[in-house]
Amino acid sequence: MQPDNSTQTSLAGGAQCTVDCTVIGHSRLGNNLFHSFSQFSIPENVTVTFADGGASNIFARVSGGRSILEGTLAVTGSGNANFFLINPHGVTFGPQATLITAGSVIVSTADSIVFPNQVLFDATDTTLPPTLTVSAPVGLQFGQNPGALINHSQASPAGSLNIFGAPVGLQVNAGKTLALVSSGIFLEHGNLTANGGRIELGSVSAGSEVALSPEFHLSYQGVSAFQDIYLRQGTFVDASGDGGEIVAHGSTINLADTAVISNFASGRLSSSLIHLIANESINITGIGILFSPLPNSSSDGATLKIDTKLLTIQRGGVISGGTIGTGNGGNLVINALEAVNVSGVGDFSPSLITTATEGTGAGGDITINTRRLSITGGARIEAITYGLGQGGDVTVNATEQIHLSGTGVTPLAGVFASGILASSGLEERSFQPTGIGGSLRLITSELSLDRGAQVGVNSLGSGNAGNLEIQAQTVRLDNSSQITAASAFGNGGNIHVRNLETLILRRGSGISTRAGTGNGQGNGGNIDIVANFVVTRPFENSDIIATATRGRGGNIKIDTRGLYGISERRAIANNRTNDIDATSDFGVSGTIAVNNLVVEAEQQLVSLPSQTLTTTALIREGCAATGNRFVVTGPGGLPTHPTDAVDINAPLVDLGRSYASHALGRNLTAEAALDSTITALQQQPWIEANTVTTDRNNRVVLVAQPRSGSESPWPITSRCAA
């Protein structure tokens, strides 16, 4: 550790600190103290103490190489001063690195600290600006080659542990801010703790300027590009307490190998927050983000907001919020411009996005806004109540597609089907839970379920199931996939499927609102389907069911233009028929109403003639008419060729007044012409007519050649004019 003499910084005991060092000199302007070092590192088991002298802020800049802090950095004095450390070359906190401060701590690899009027305390220019003011800082300015910030701290000063029983690592006092702002942040088996305070992680690119408020909230409006943030190898970032906040902003945010971001609320405040912003992606592998009220707390859980382009949760990654006490669970809002992908299972659980309640408080809601949502390999999104409180609601707005597929097997927890669930309980019990299941709403262009996937609002306790609404253009269920609103002891939920072009059920899939699956008294829920076409394949055991065991069966209403392959009948397991069933085993059956029903396709089939048509006899070369026309429409809508014989059974239409009848003052009718034509054709061999003429009785006749005594012959010309 070496002062650079640009300020009045000095060390008690000299530069060679073996156990403890105290920074006693400084340059002071109002309530701000300024220190400048050419080198600043703290060896393990060494404590470096800054005396605040009653000041509000202490600013330390390092102009030399990377700072490696393996010991204790402390701030003492009556001012409860905030501490700022900037080193453009980078900062590393070792496994035993410890903070002992009364105020907030901001560590950055920025070049300079910005004050009002663009006055800079610059680590690359060791002169002290004569205009440096007593004002609070307003930002951090990064140079062209900023370093990264690395934390390995597992320190546990005075035996202090976080809410998980793990070492607190780098910790600030309750209600204070711990901010790490650099170009790349790596928390590798390194913990951060701010009980009821604020933890800020900002990873920005070169040339950026980050604004800083008096409350140490950072603004990134002046940042055009970001860098990555990594949390891995058993890292904990914890702001549990009254009103704690965690904010991270980067290009990608990666949580892996049991990295945990947690904010367990306590007290009466409900403003706790976790907000992750990643311009490119957020990736969670293994346990990830936990946000809940503390056990038996009356406060509401923290709100979790995720804003990114792509969210990926895999191999047992978890985003979980819940409540055990009287407070409500926190809400989860995910905005992913491109996609949300949740896949696979871990050792203990599936990859999971969940909110839950085990107390009297309501569970938190889950809202997902994206283009595409994919849930595969046993992964789940679920809002569940295990107690008296109502389960949270789940809303998914996916403009292009929602896709669910497959199951996953965990080594320690069994088999899980991919699903989106808003349920009451996970096991059938008559006494618990009693809370009502939440509602589920899916809005998309295409909903696809495959290989046993589930979408449901089930109740497996005594509570009623919630309601399920689907708005889509196409819904396809395949390979034993199910949309359900079942209940074990309470009433089944209602299912509304609307605005569909096509609903397709294949290979043992179905839609059901069964009630009384645990032999309860609940009534079956209602099913309301509005779709242009409802399609199943015969003999595949795909059903639409609103049944009950002891209660009343539900009502099924289907508005459709076409219902294919499925009929109203009793649904029996594995009967290989596609059934619509609203019966009750021991109660009153429900009703089934199908409006605008089109008869099934197999009932409209007709036998076609086995003899094929000779197309050469039907299609002839044609040419445009150039005079008046005489048109006879041929069979099948094909025009008759001018040289074809006239069909004896083809009627002649009323041609009006002919040229001949007008000349003779006679008005012949079509009936007379038809009688004459039939008589002439029956008396003669089949010879193609080639002349139109009148006979002695002044009737128009078609003849093969002119006869003697006929008048006004009208020969048929060889061209296509009539």
Helix (H, G, I), strand (E, B) or coil at 334: strand
Work out the average pLDDT over 497-517. Answer: 92
| pLDDT of 645 over the 90 cut | no
Could you report the per-residue pLDDT of 530-549, keeping only the tens digit for each?
999 999 999 999 999 999 88
Residue among 77, 89, 98, 92 nearest 33 (CA): 77
Q: 630 CB contacts (<8 Å, ≥6 apart)?
A: 655, 722
pLDDT at 435: 75
Distance CA 163, CA 194 (A): 11
Distance CA 530, CA 170 (A): 57
Domain 1-210: give its CATH code.
2.160.20.10
Tokens 């902003």 correspond to what residue?
249
Distance CA 532, CA 190 (A): 57
pLDDT class for 712, splitting at 50, 70, 90? very low
Could you report the per-residue pLDDT of 268-287, keeping only the tens digit for each?
655 689 999 999 999 999 88
Could you report the per-residue pLDDT of 382-424, keeping only the tens digit for each?
998 887 888 899 999 999 999 999 988 877 777 889 999 998 7
Neighbours of 580 (CB within 10 A): 22
Work out the average pLDDT over 164-180. Answer: 96
Could you report the per-residue pLDDT of 90-140, keeping only the tens digit for each?
999 999 999 999 999 999 999 999 999 889 999 998 887 776 777 889 999
Mean pLDDT of the chain: 84
Write the CA distances from 156 to 162, 170, 242, 246, integer angstroms: 9, 9, 22, 21
pLDDT at 24: 82
| pLDDT of 466 over the 80 cut | yes
| pLDDT of 653 over the 80 cut | no
In 33-97, which ranges are continuous DSSP H helix?
A: none
148-162, 201-215, 263-277, 342-356: which has the minimum mean pLDDT? Answer: 263-277
| pLDDT of 10 over the 80 cut | yes
Q: Position 103: which residue type?
A: G
Q: 508 CB contacts (<8 Å, ≥6 apart)?
A: 479, 480, 540, 541, 542
Residues 263 and 299 sit within 8 Å (Cβ to Cβ): no
Q: 328 CB contacts (<8 Å, ≥6 apart)?
A: 300, 301, 357, 361, 362, 363, 364, 389
133-137, 353-357, 436-440, 450-454: which has the minimum mean pLDDT? Answer: 133-137
Handedness of CA 104, 110, 113, 118 (dihedral sign): negative
Number of H helices, E strands in the chain: 2, 54
Strands 332-343 and 394-405: unpaired
| pLDDT of 648 over the 60 cut | no
Distance CA 487, CA 525 (A): 9
Could you report the per-residue pLDDT of 318-360, keeping only the tens digit for each?
998 877 777 788 899 999 999 999 999 998 889 999 998 877 8
pLDDT at 721: 41
Write the CA distances from 512 to 38, 44, 98, 550, 556, integer angstroms: 72, 64, 58, 16, 10
Residues 651 and 677 sit within 8 Å (Cβ to Cβ): no
Map out the domains of the chain as residue ranges. Answer: 1-210, 490-602, 630-715
What are phi and psi for residue 261, nearest 5 degrees? Answer: -105, 120
pLDDT class for 666, splitting at 50, 70, 90? very low
Could you report the per-residue pLDDT of 42-91, keeping only the tens digit for each?
999 999 999 988 899 999 999 999 999 999 999 998 889 999 999 999 99
Work out the average pLDDT over 683-697. Answer: 60
Three-state DSSP string of 578-614: CEEECCECCCCCCCEEEECCCCCHHHCCCCCCCCCCC
SS3 of the chain: helix, strand, coil, percent, to 5? 5, 45, 50
pLDDT class for 693, splitting at 50, 70, 90? low
Work out the average pLDDT over 176-196. Answer: 97
pLDDT at 664: 42
Q: 533 CB contacts (<8 Å, ≥6 apart)?
A: 501, 502, 503, 560, 561, 562, 563, 564
Asked whether the bond before 433 is cis by omega within 30 degrees of 0, the reply is yes
Backbone conformation region of residue 243, classed left if phi is above 0, alpha if psi is from -120 to 50, else beta: left
